[in-house]
């Protein structure tokens, strides 16, 4: 996709929240006003520090009132048509991003946005064309750059929750972008491990891990000229894939044109393999997919490696991986599927 031909339209919803349309080519009107009568958006969230664990916890009591699994004809992410008014005032759209009406973090505690991948309510990300997936990548990149300028944001996480088993509250194909006001615990631990490795060896831990997976090969799911996807050696989830660009970069804004051009085909293939894991009668595979990017304003940023993690909580047909006593209570994962077996299965379900 020619990024120079893409169109970005910034507007405002009736309550003052920002809405951004992304189109794959110039043209088309995106100036439809939000006809709803909404009070000015007001949300309150709080972040507290767990001093014993050294981790932060967010509080957003207003989220108790958020929309929960409405019928399709009341979906707030479909386009507005006739008297059915939604969060998207336009009668059609390609990709739309807006400030979450019920954010986990807001104002001086960060920012939360919703990303609508398509106007088609019954679709999924795996149903998109490569051109549509490229437009979503463009939106993720644009918002990463935009949130980097937000005074309260330290780290940006673009992610998708898919499936009722995961806990989604809206069926329409969408994801979210969190601008955290702190470095998340998972990222912080990885940064410390990478820094210790650099101090001890003078090399990148991320580069070493990718090189080891490529050399071993048993856990590699697919590899192209600009991307490699593998099940990590110590995978926590039954089916978990990490996707890395061949050239190490800190975040989405640093991806080069060849990697951007190749990403849609690679990612769509991974998602379609996930949907074939458990056979045609199992239904769509629930998953979480998210980009792990370097935090802003830290010295270790240059040593980070952008990567996407995709995993499912489904461990077999009709079986879910529950985070019970060991996982939830002690944070010690016990996996039911060996990483090598998971990678083998993901290779078996490759597109013909």
Q: Which residues are known catalytic residues? A: 174
Structure tokens at 160: 């998708």
Q: What is the DSSP string of 268-307?
A: HHHHHHHHHTT-TTS-SPPEEEEEE-PPSS-GGGGG---E
CB 39 within 8 A of CB 16: no
Q: Which of 258, 73, 284 is nearest to 165 (CA)?
A: 284
The 10 Å Cβ neighbour count of residue 301 is 14
Structure tokens at 338: 């060996």
Cβ neighbourhood burial of 139 (10 Å; 0-12, 13-18, 19+): buried
First to last CA, the chain: 25
| Residue 53 per-residue DSSP state | T
Centroid of chain to Cα 147? 15
Calpha distance 173→183 (Å, rounded): 28
The H or E element that residue 14 is part of is none
């Amino acid at each position: 996709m020619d990024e120079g031909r893409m169109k970005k339209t910034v507007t405002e919803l009736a309550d003052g929240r920002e809405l951004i349309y992304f189109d794959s080519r110039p043209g088309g009107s995106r100036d439809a006003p939000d006809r709803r009568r909404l009070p000015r958006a007001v949300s309150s969230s709080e972040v507290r520090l767990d001093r014993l664990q050294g981790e932060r916890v967010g509080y957003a009591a207003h989220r108790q009132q958020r929309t929960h699994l409405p019928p399709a004809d009341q979906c707030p992410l479909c386009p507005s048509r006739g008297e059915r008014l939604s969060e998207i005032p336009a009668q059609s759209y390609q990709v739309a991003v807006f400030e979450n009406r019920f954010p986990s973090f807001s104002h001086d505690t960060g920012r939360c946005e919703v990303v609508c991948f398509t106007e088609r309510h019954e679709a999924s990300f795996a149903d998109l064309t490569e051109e549509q997936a490229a437009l979503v990548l463009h939106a993720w990149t644009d918002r990463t750059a935009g949130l980097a300028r937000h005074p309260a944001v330290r780290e940006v996480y673009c992610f998708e929750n898919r499936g009722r088993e995961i806990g989604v509250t809206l069926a329409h194909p969408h994801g979210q972008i969190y601008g955290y006001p702190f470095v998340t615990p998972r990222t912080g631990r990885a940064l410390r491990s990478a820094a210790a490795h650099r101090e001890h060896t003078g090399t990148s831990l991320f580069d070493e891990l990718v090189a080891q997976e490529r050399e071993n090969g048993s856990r590699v799911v697919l590899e192209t000229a600009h991307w490699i996807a593998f099940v990590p050696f110590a995978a926590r989830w039954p089916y978990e894939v990490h996707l890395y660009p061949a050239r190490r970069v800190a975040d989405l804004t640093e991806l080069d044109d060849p990697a951007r051009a190749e990403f849609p085909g690679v990612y769509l293939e991974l998602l379609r393999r996930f949907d074939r894991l458990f056979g045609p009668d199992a239904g769509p595979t629930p998953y979480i997919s998210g980009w792990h990017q370097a935090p802003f304003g830290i010295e270790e940023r240059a040593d980070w490696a952008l990567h996407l993690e995709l995993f499912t909580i489904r461990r077999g047909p009709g079986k879910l991986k529950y985070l019970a006593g060991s996982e939830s209570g002690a944070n010690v994962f016990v996996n039911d599927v060996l990483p090598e077996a998971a990678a083998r299965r993901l290779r078996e379900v490759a597109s013909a």
